[in-house]
Structure 1
């Protein structure tokens, strides 16, 4: 693959699902080597150190075949996704009683 293909993830923001049902957020900082990126998870008060993540890790899926990593062009797009994800679902009432005439 060409270097430009690998560079496309640089600067993107992400969410990554954890097995316990929580998720982490961060940004892809830059390419470290072919197929490996420096990433930084978001910290509450101070920036966390850089970590390495491979393309293989980023393509991992759960047992139910859901992708663990999601990528976004901006923080705003990512925040909209998180807002939707964290929003409580609206209960639906389904009547099981057949209406009478």
Structure 2
């Protein structure tokens, strides 16, 4: 490869949703070929093997249109997203009773 592949995903951190409701995290390492990237999922202690992910995979959505992959510039941004994602939701009570005088 004499021509450098231009990309914006190298060194980005990501979360990827699984259909069972769980998610994985990792980092895009570098381009492998046009439209294909080496990615490393967190929890993999060895430097190799890296996994391959295509842009098509990274752009997939659920049947409802939600993105499966989300990208972040820094670990801190991803950590904030995960904190929000894992936080228990707070129930909201809306009163439908008209107040009396």
What whole-Å deviation, never above 9, does each CA across 1:30-72 have from its counterpart, x for those lacking one?
A: 100000000000007x247310000000000000000100000
More helix by share: 1
Match of 2:58 in 1: 58
Which 4+ residue blocks in structure 1 deviate beyond 3 angstroms?
none
Match of 2:5 in 1: 3
Structure 2 distance, partners of 1:26, 1:53, is 12
Match of 2:96 in 1: 96
Match of 2:39 in 1: 39
Matched, 1:15 2:26: no
Q: Specify the SS of the correspondent of 2:30.
A: strand
TM-score, normalization: structure 1?
0.89
Structure 2 distance, partners of 1:47, 1:79, is 22
Q: Which runs of 5+ in 2 are unaligned?
A: none
User: Aligned residue pairs: how many?
Assistant: 97
Match of 1:29 in 2: 29
TM-score, normalization: structure 2?
0.89
How well do the aligned residues superpose, as a CA RMSD in angstroms? 1.6
